[in-house]
């Protein structure tokens, strides 16, 4: 943690601070509690089993890592937020009995639960079936709905914070709001931020807005993390992973949303669709509250549907729907094609669905947009459709328009940044029963690239592309410090292309940082290259 507050004076003597944490905790709690053993260790705390001598019961105590430099302001916020969390009364939320600090430690005490975390269960048994995953998901969503109505956000939904009770199978959500208690940027009185570049959470499950360090988060951030956790429950892995936290955060911000049913074909389509909605990049595109997710899961389960027939399977069924033998055994040749009522209904339904999917019919085509920005489809200069980044969309084309269509890039920013990028739609060859076209990062023999800028410097920066050449272009944009994979548009690509970053306080003058020699790393389809300053 980085903060501009003075460190709190440590009440314990240096010799006491050198003592094991268990001994210090025993002194801080007093004679009423016996510290029995260390039962777990996480990213920000150690967990000890306690024995309450007065009430003859087991308790669990989380001791926040002593290395955290607690300040008076942070301790004050910790106590105030703990009071807010005490309002939560829900069977799926593990309550906090009390909090305390002493002997250089900060801790909170909660009931002791015999069981295992969802993270341990996933490591032990692998992914869950859809039905079992939904059984675990529903109590979590109910707990989130209860907390969100009171304005409280968890901020760290992950399998490690879900406990499965051994005897009853009860699902419990742990550490509600603890991430906020640890965040030095939050305050109870609307005061100024006190930290720089500090983000609380677990990167595999962190919403884009949380990764960007937004100070105010709402329940939709929890729903994103819940979607990432549900994805892992049914596939066995988180939706995004990588070799570093920065790489994983970048994927949350820029990579397409993965589809769980593409990883595990047994996942029902309705469940996969619900996960995709939870993982939408923008909060307004997600479910707006936990009750909406519960309703979607209930409707999908009630439908009894296990998913749609795959498009290729459907095409094969349609193409193979030939004549059926007559009762007398005659077929083909001069015999009649006889189709029973039920079979005819199935074939007819298949044809209807195939038309909707773009496998049959006139004026139907699919366009794949390999770029990282959306493109607009034009017919005689009039927009008729928009295709999202790295997506394939089915287009309904006017008759006779296959040769006169065009596309253009929808540039980011307002006003738009980057260079205009447009061109005619390629001819639409028929593949696998569909008309297909593709838009990529090359137009008329000229390649383009999209630099995604990560700013790890101490100041905001502005960017100049291809500096020192006749093609130099200033993005007229600001990339704030801490930003990850910021889009700044597309630019013409040359063998000696380079990108320079300037301090935004003195744009395009004075010291700057260059990033040359990346042309060979540019993705040929999307034009993407990631540059870090």
Which residue among the candidates 120, 156, 160, 183 is catalytic per the annotation? 156
Pairing between β-strand 442-443 and β-strand 45-52 as defined by DSSP bridges: unpaired
C-alpha to C-alpha distance for 359 and 355, rounded to whole angstroms:
6
Where would I find the H helices in 126-263? 130-149, 178-181, 208-211, 219-235, 245-254, 260-263
| pLDDT value of position 437 | 81
Angle between helices 290-303 and 130-149 (to 10 degrees): 150
Lowest mean pLDDT among 30-34, 122-126, 324-328, 453-457: 324-328
Instruction: Report how far residue 333's alpha carbon sits from residue 311's, in angstroms, rounded to the nearest whole number.
Output: 31
- The CA-CA-CA angle for residues 364, 370, 375, to 5°, reads 65
Q: How far is CA 14 from CA 5, 162, 429, in A?
A: 22, 37, 77
Strand pairing category for 382-387 and 171-173: unpaired
Q: Do the bridges between strand 364-369 and strand 434-439 make them parallel or antiparallel, or are there none, so unpaired? A: parallel
Judged by average pLDDT, the poorest of 11-20, 41-50, 302-311 is 11-20
DSSP 8-state assignment for residue 166: T
Pick from 242, 245, 210, 241: nearest CA to 224: 210
* Residue 422 falls in which region: left (phi positive, over 0), alpha (psi -120 to 50) or beta: beta
What percent of the chain has pLDDT above 70?
A: 72
Q: Which tens digit of pLDDT belongs to each residue from 35-82?
A: 998 887 766 678 899 999 988 888 988 887 766 656 666 667 667 666
pLDDT, position 288: 93
What mean pLDDT is reported for the chain?
Answer: 76
Strands 382-387 and 375-379: antiparallel
Task: Yes or no: say if 364 and 358 are a contact pair by the CB < 8 Å rule.
Answer: yes
Q: Is 227 left (phi over 0), alpha (psi -120 to 50) or beta?
A: alpha
pLDDT for the residue 47: 86
Taking only the tens place, the pLDDT of each residue in 255-302 is 889 999 888 888 999 999 999 999 999 999 999 999 999 999 998 888
* Phi, then psi, of 160 in degrees rounded to 5: -65, -20
Report d(CA 476, CA 473) in Å as an integer: 9
Query: Could you say which of 1.10.3720.10, 3.40.190.100, 1.10.520.10, 1.10.510.10 is the CATH number of the domain covering 116-303?
Result: 1.10.510.10
Residue 340 has pLDDT above 50, yes or no: no
Instruction: Look at residue 448 in the predicted model and tell me its pLDDT.
Output: 94
What pLDDT does 333 receive?
38
pTM: 0.53
pLDDT beyond 80 at 331: no
Q: Strand, helix or coil at 299?
A: helix
Based on the residue annotation, tell me whether 156 is a catalytic residue of this protein: yes
Give the E-state strand segments of 253-353 in sequence order: none
CA separation for the pair 278, 230 (Å, rounded): 10
What are 286's two structure tokens?
A: 């997600």
Is 499 strand, coil or helix? strand
Q: What percent of the chain shows pLDDT beyond 90?
A: 24
> What's the chain's Rg over C-alpha atoms?
29
What CATH number has the domain spanning 14-111? Answer: 3.30.200.20
Contact 497, 523 (CB under 8 A): no
Cβ atoms within 10 Å of 241's Cβ, excluding its own: 12
Paired with 382 in beta bridges are 379
Question: 401 falls in which pLDDT band (50, 70, 90)?
Answer: low
């Amino acid at each position: 943690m980085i903060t501009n507050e003075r460190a709190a004076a440590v009440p314990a003597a240096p010799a006491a601070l050198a003592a094991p944490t268990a001994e210090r905790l025993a002194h801080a709690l007093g004679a009423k509690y016996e510290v029995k053993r260390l039962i777990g260790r996480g990213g920000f705390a150690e967990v000890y089993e306690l024995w309450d001598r007065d009430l003859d019961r087991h308790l669990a105590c989380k001791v926040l890592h002593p290395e955290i430099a607690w300040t008076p302001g942070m301790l004050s916020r910790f106590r105030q937020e703990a009071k807010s969390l005490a309002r939560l009364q829900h069977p799926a939320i593990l309550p906090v009995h009390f909090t305390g600090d002493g002997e250089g430690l900060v801790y909170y005490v909660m009931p002791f639960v015999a069981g295992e975390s969802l993270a341990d269960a996933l490591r032990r048994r692998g992914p869950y079936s859809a039905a079992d995953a939904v059984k675990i998901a529903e109590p979590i969503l109910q707990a989130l709905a209860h907390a969100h109505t009171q304005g409280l956000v968890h901020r760290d939904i992950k399998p490690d914070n879900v406990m499965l009770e051994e005897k009853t199978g009860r699902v419990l959500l742990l550490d509600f709001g603890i991430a906020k208690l640890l965040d030095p940027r939050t305050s109870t009185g609307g005061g100024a931020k006190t930290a720089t570049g500090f983000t609380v959470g677990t990167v595999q499950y962190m919403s884009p807005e949380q990764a960007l360090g937004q100070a105010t988060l709402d329940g939709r951030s929890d729903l994103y993390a819940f979607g990432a956790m549900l994805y892992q429950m049914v596939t066995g892995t988180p939706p995004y992973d990588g070799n570093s936290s920065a790489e994983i955060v970048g994927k949350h911000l820029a990579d397409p949303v993965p589809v769980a049913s593409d990883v595990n074909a047994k996942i029902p389509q309705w469940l996969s669709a619900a996960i995709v909605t939870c993982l939408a990049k923008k909060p307004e595109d997600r479910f707006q509250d936990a009750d909406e997710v519960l309703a979607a899961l209930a409707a999908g389960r009630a439908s009894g549907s296990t998913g749609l027939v795959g498009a290729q399977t459907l095409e094969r069924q349609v193409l193979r729907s030939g004549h059926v033998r007559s009762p007398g055994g005659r077929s083909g040749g001069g015999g009649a094609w006889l189709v029973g009522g039920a079979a005819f209904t199935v074939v007819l339904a298949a044809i209807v669905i195939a038309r909707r999917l773009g496998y049959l019919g006139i004026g139907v085509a699919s366009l794949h947009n390999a770029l990282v920005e959306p493109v607009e489809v034009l017919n005689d200069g009039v927009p008729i459709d928009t295709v999202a980044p790295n997506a394939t969309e089915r287009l309904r084309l006017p008759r006779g328009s296959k040769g006169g269509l065009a596309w253009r890039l929808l540039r980011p920013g307002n006003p738009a940044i980057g260079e205009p990028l447009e061109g005619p739609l390629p001819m639409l060859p028929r593949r696998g029963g569909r008309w297909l076209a593709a838009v990529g990062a090359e137009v008329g023999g000229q390649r383009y690239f999209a630099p995604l800028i990560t700013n790890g410097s101490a100041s905001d920066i502005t960017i100049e592309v291809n500096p020192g050449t006749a093609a130099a272009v200033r993005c007229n944009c600001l990339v704030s410090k801490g930003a990850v994979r910021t889009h700044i548009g597309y630019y013409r690509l040359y063998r000696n292309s380079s990108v320079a970053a300037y301090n935004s306080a003195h744009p395009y003058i004075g010291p700057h940082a260059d990033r040359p020699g990346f042309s060979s790393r540019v993705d040929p389809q999307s034009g993407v290259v990631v540059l870090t300053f």
